[in-house]
Structure 1
Amino acid sequence: MTKLIGYARVSTKAQDADRQIQDLLAAGVRRDDLYTDHGLSGALAKRPALDKALTALHPGDTLVITTLDRLGRSTQKMLELAEELRDRNIGLRVLNLGGGDVDTKTPMGAMVFTVMAALAQMELEIKRERINDSVTKRRATGGDLGGRRPTFTESQIRTASKLIKAGEPATQVAKDMGMSHATLYRRIKKLP
């Protein structure tokens, strides 16, 4: 009996895979045959849930993913995986690929997969190029590079400084503010 094995992945722990899981279940994947990696980049060679999904696949089965980028970032790696699955007589079905789903068990599906894998990698490289260009331009003009924003106002730091001068232990004042005492001292030093 052939099975559909589903694989979902989210890149950060803050994200959830609920939408992917719902799509995979709607495509006929049983909940017991669903594998999910949380907080793992598609660029990683080893992903525990993907490895388990690949181990669970038998000849005639099909690996189902929602979008191509859930499988990987590199065209080379995706094509190697597709070839490995084909050699094991396992299909690869990508839901939501160009408005429909693609099954690599068909010649047309295999061709579409190859083209889409190349386009996915190109899109990633273009995005990286744009980000690098934007950061370079911001650096050159002294612009904001993003990063964590200060969560404490100058007034709050002044109040903390007054408490320390009044005899409160610096470590306790910093702890109450939710920062290390080293960070608090650094912020006090920066006060005008």
Structure 2
Amino acid sequence: MGVDVSKLIGYARVSTRHQDADRQVHDLRTAGVRNDDLYVDHGVSGARASRPQFDKAVAALEIGDTLVITTLDRLGRSTQNMLAFAEALRSRGAGLRVLNLGGGDVDTSTPMGSMVFTVMAALAQMELEIKRERITDSVAKRRAAGKDLGGRRQTFTDSQIRNALRLIEGGEPATQVARDLGMSRATLYRRTRELPMSIV
């Protein structure tokens, strides 16, 4: 019986069907991951609970193996999730290696790598929270500014509503178009129904 050699298991994920995993796959191969040990999820977001190829990659890990990913966000959204996952791997005797973390290659099977991973995961989470706060703050400011203008609703011309309708017909999500106009989707639909029956 031959000597058991620890393996590198690679995982790549692209959020949309249109994105290409080639870059991630190339980086994983360069890091030493064999084709047979590569798992790729297409059209799956990090927030989604079901990631079939990710589950297969984790299931393929044996004692001494290392899961290799290109960036931290391939793992998930929250620091808590990422740290819990790294800890779960460690308890199974497997490691986690992130190729592009803080400009370097971090391996959680080493004490230094584990510490860097913890810090970077916390920073990634903090960045996400700051972005969320900025968006909330900007929406609140806009609302406040609207109230200062006498609380009157913004009026939209038929022409603006027609343009919005063209965007939706061209494939833009109705929710996004309505949000850009500063109205609800229901209001936008109501306004499109009220349009005079001339050429839309």
Q: TM-score, normalised by structure 2?
A: 0.70
Residue identity (%): 71
CA positional deviation for 1:89: 0.9
Of 63, 71, 81, 1:67 maps to 71
Post-superposition CA distance 1:24-66 (Å, at most 9, x none): 1111111221111122221233311110000011111100000
Runs of 4+ displaced beyond 6 Å: none
Of 146, 152, 155, 2:166 maps to 152
8 Å CA contact retained: 1:64, 1:95: yes
What are the ranges of 5 or more consecutive residues in structure 2 without an aligned counterpart?
A: 147-153, 155-162, 168-188
8 Å CA contact retained: 1:43, 1:74: no
The more displaced of 4-13 and 62-71 is: 4-13
Q: Match for 1:67: what amino acid?
A: T
* C-alpha distance in structure 2 between counterparts of 1:141 and 1:191, whole Å: 35
SS at match of 2:11: strand
What are the ranges of 5 or more consecutive residues in structure 1 without an aligned counterpart?
A: 144-148, 154-181
Q: Match of 2:175?
A: none
Pair 1:135–1:17, CA change in 2 (3 A): farther
SS at match of 1:95: strand
Equivalent residue runs for 1:114-133 within 5 Å? 114-133=118-137
- Aligned residues, how many? 158
* C-alpha distance in structure 2 between counterparts of 1:103 and 1:56, whole Å: 18
* C-alpha distance in structure 1 between counterparts of 2:106 and 2:90, whole Å: 14
Of 6, 9, 15, 2:10 maps to 6
CA positional deviation for 1:152: 3.4
Post-superposition CA distance 1:62-90 (Å, at most 9, x none): 00000111111111111111111101111
Q: Match of 1:24?
A: 28
When the two chains are superposed, the root-mean-square deviation of aligned CA atoms in Å is: 2.7
* C-alpha distance in structure 2 between counterparts of 1:72 and 1:63, whole Å: 14
Equivalent residue runs for 1:73-92 within 5 Å? 73-92=77-96
Of 107, 111, 114, 1:110 maps to 114
Q: Match for 1:186: what amino acid?
A: R
CA positional deviation for 1:12: 2.2
